[in-house]
């Protein structure tokens, strides 16, 4: 097993809720993944609000998903299906 030393500020140490100077790599991945997920969610919420998507109802979402799935072959990959590359 190898040991990797990483230096972070006290602010980051506290921000990530770390409580030990030694953690496993899988624990570090969990901490970083969790923070990245929070950042992506925050950005998604900001974009949804910016473009008015935060006001869409669940019924509207279901209708949109159904329409996209129904027209998927014709809308997303017309050349792919036209060339007979997929069934």
Comparing 85 with 56, the larger pLDDT belongs to: 56
**DSSP type of residue 71:** T
- Can you give the pLDDT at residue 52? 85
Q: What pLDDT does residue 68 have? A: 83
Task: Give CA–CA dist 33/44, Å, rounded.
Answer: 16
The confidence score (pLDDT) of residue 79 equals: 52
3-state DSSP call for residue 37? helix
Where exactly are the structural domains of the chain? 1-51, 56-87
Higher pLDDT, 27 or 54: 27
CA–CA distance, 71 with 66 (Å, rounded to integer): 9
pLDDT of residue 87: 46
As a whole number, mean pLDDT of residues 49-76 equals 81
pLDDT (0 to 100) of residue 76:
52
Task: Give the pLDDT confidence score for residue 24 in this predicted structure.
Answer: 92
| Predicted pLDDT at 31 | 93
């Amino acid at each position: 097993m190898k040991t990797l030393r990483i230096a972070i500020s006290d602010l980051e140490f506290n921000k990530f809720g770390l409580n030990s100077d030694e953690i496993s790599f899988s624990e570090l991945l969990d901490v970083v993944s969790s923070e990245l997920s929070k950042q992506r969610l925050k950005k998604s919420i900001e974009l949804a609000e910016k473009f008015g998507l935060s006001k869409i109802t669940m019924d509207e979402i279901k209708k949109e998903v159904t329409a996209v799935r129904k027209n998927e072959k014709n809308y997303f990959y017309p050349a792919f299906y036209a060339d007979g590359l997929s069934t």
